[in-house]
Amino acid sequence: MAATNILSEEEFSCPVCCDIFRDPVLLSCSHSVCKTCLQQFWETKGSQECPVCRKRSSRDDPPCNRALKNLCESFLASRIQRSSAGSEVLCSLHNEKLKVFCLEDQQPVCLVCQISKAHKTHDCCPVEEAVCDFKNKLKTSLESLQQHLKVLEEHKQVCEKTAAHIKYQARHTERQIKEEFEKIHQFLRVEEAARIAALKEEEEQKSHMMRRKIEEMSGEIASLSDQIRNTEKEMEAENIPFLLNVLSTLKQVHHTPKEHEKVSGALINVAKHLSNLKFRVWERMQYLFTSRWVLLSESWSS
């Protein structure tokens, strides 16, 4: 652990992504690269070259650099330990406490930075005041997200009730169709089956449409809920870590509510299945009986 404190963060950084190594692999030229970065580089380049020296790798699957991986893990663990131990973030230039927030550069600075050329003409405010202002902005954004979540949940309930009503309509209409066909002779069972099949098809189509809409809104609700939880967690952070991440957090919570169109034409067209049912069936019955009578007459005459 002591060795990792001596080395700088740059010595633990991947030359491709410039972040701390993740699963570093060792190339034949002795350079190390993140495994994922190397695979992406090779796919983009079209050849198995080292991203640093361009020397071609002799292996398709370079071995893991376990020593470097262990050092990186120790370095990250040390940094987390220092942070959790309550060590205060200091100015990287002057090693002073970050007391003020530069409104123009949107970053916390120390008192020496404030009077330096870089920030001398900039408007600054105390860190606590900046934290309060940003939290108020986040609170407003959170309230908007929470309101949108509420609207989505209410809309989902309406859709669920509509889906249930579709089921009810389908069952109720099916019973009505069967009652009508029970009054007709046995040979009309074929007509009954055809109409039931049409109803089932419409029910399936419209139920499928509602299921997709419900799933879509469930996804949006889950995403918004995660966003709200993450934002609330960020707001509980210490002042300086909070300010360092606040711009990214504000971008994440900025959300334009998606307008959901009202469900139209979702219900089953009951009239199509029931309108003039007896009349149309009677016409078919007349046609069937007439055709049979003609055939019988022709057979008798012959």
18-53 burial, b at 16+ Cβ within 10 Å, e below that, comes to: eebbeebbbbeeebbbbbebbeebeeeeeebbbbee
Share of the chain above pLDDT 90, in %: 26
- Record the tokens describing residue 237, joined without a space: 């952070």
Tens of pLDDT, residue by residue over 234-282, are 888 888 888 888 888 788 777 665 666 666 677 888 887 777 777 777 7
Lowest mean pLDDT among 87-101, 137-151, 199-213, 217-231: 87-101
pLDDT of residue 298: 64
* 90-107: pLDDT as tens digits: 887 787 889 999 999 899
What is the C-alpha separation between 138 and 127, in angstroms, rounded?
Answer: 16
2 — pLDDT class (breaks 50, 70, 90): very low
Residue 92 is predicted with a pLDDT of 77
In whole angstroms, give the CA distance from residue 9 to residue 244: 18
Pairing mode, if any, of strands 24-26 and 98-102?
unpaired
> Which amino acid, 128?
E
Residues 71 and 64: beta-carbon distance below 8 Å: no
Q: What's the pLDDT band for 205 if we cut at 50, 70, 90?
A: confident
In the structure encoding, which two tokens stand for residue 66, read together? 């376990």
Confidence tier at 82 by pLDDT (50, 70, 90): low
pLDDT, average across residues 62-91:
77
CA angle, residues 249, 250, 251, in degrees to nearest 5: 90
Does the model's pTM come out above 0.75? no
pLDDT score of 1: 46
The pLDDT score that the predictor gives to residue 183 is: 64
